[in-house]
A = this chain, B = another copy of it.
């Protein structure tokens, strides 16, 4: 019984699909492994519907503690990889994270590289 539920969970929600662009290019953007995995955790939380995970929630899945997670979050925001969006719904403010700035940078990186390569090939 228990096992059947776990199997269904495995089957229908067992995989997290991450953009290859991130996995293959984070170090080129200057991110290290802790920062990249923090990004993956934030991405995963957002997909599950939690758009503003706390440092505590992140720390529970990571090898660093809550205050180190706060530092990483601050660094990601300051370096322009992560954005905090504020929305007002009937006098209630809600905050959520957006990784769009990171995706934009990765897309630029890829397209610029490709175009430069093409140009250089043509010049040869």
Task: Name A residues whose Cβ lies closer than 8 Å to a Cβ of B.
Answer: 2-4, 6-8, 10-21, 23-25, 27, 31-34, 36-37, 40-41, 43-44, 61-64, 99-100, 103-104, 106-107, 110-111, 114-115, 118
Contacts and interface: CB of A to CB of B under 8 A. Distances in A.
Contact of A3 (B32, B62, B111): B111
Contact of A62 (B20, B33, B41): B33
Contact of A37 (B37, B64, B114): B37
A16 to B, nearest CB: 5
Contacts of A10: 7, 10-11, 14
A16 B23 contact: yes
Contacts of A115: 2
